[in-house]
Amino acid sequence: MAEDKPTAAFALSLVAGIFIIIGALIYIVAGAILSIVPIFGAAVMIYGILGLIWGILVLIGAYMINSSPDKVKTGGILVLIFSILSIFGAAAGLIIGMILGIVGGALAIAWKPSKPSFYEKRDRICPSCGRTIPFDAKICPYCGKNFEE
Ligand SMILES: [Zn+2]
């Protein structure tokens, strides 16, 4: 369904990013606690930092989905890829994050701008009266100039 803005895709991606960051923070905190075992603790923390990066990239993707129509697809791809990667280092965003990210990312990739903005982008100027008219107009709605003559 065409919408002005991919609101659902944005909201799902945003929540996905937050859950992935929570998942990553669990590893980072666990790593800090486990730092009594030097190398193991550090390894767990680095693993969590990796998860934190995926979470931030998902949030960047969510931001792109909400920023402008031509960035929605790229944002969706970011959200999709890094939600899946959250299996590593972010406990898949406690599963919820990964699922919401996959759905949100897929929605963003499938999203199409609604018709009005499609027409807005392609508006042109009537060569006769200089006003902005729809790109597919056969006759200027203002001055009546027929473009098919
Ligand atoms: Zn005109």
How far does residue 144's CA lie from ligand 1's centre (Å)? Answer: 6
Over residues 127-139, the mean pLDDT reads: 87
Residue 119 confidence (pLDDT) above 90: no
Query: For position 2, what pLDDT does the model report?
Result: 46
How far does residue 137's CA lie from ligand 1's centre (Å)? Answer: 10
Residue 87 confidence (pLDDT) above 70: yes
| Rounded Cα distance, 129 and 146, in Å | 12
Q: 36-81: per-residue pLDDT in tens?
A: 888 999 999 999 999 999 999 999 999 999 998 889 999 999 999 9
Query: Containing H/E element for 101?
Result: helix 96-110
Residues with CB under 5 A from ligand 1 (ion): 126, 128-129, 140, 142-143, 145
Parse the chain into domains and list their residue ranges. 7-113, 123-149
pTM: 0.74
Residue-level length of the chain: 149
How far does residue 142's CA lie from ligand 1's centre (Å)? Answer: 5
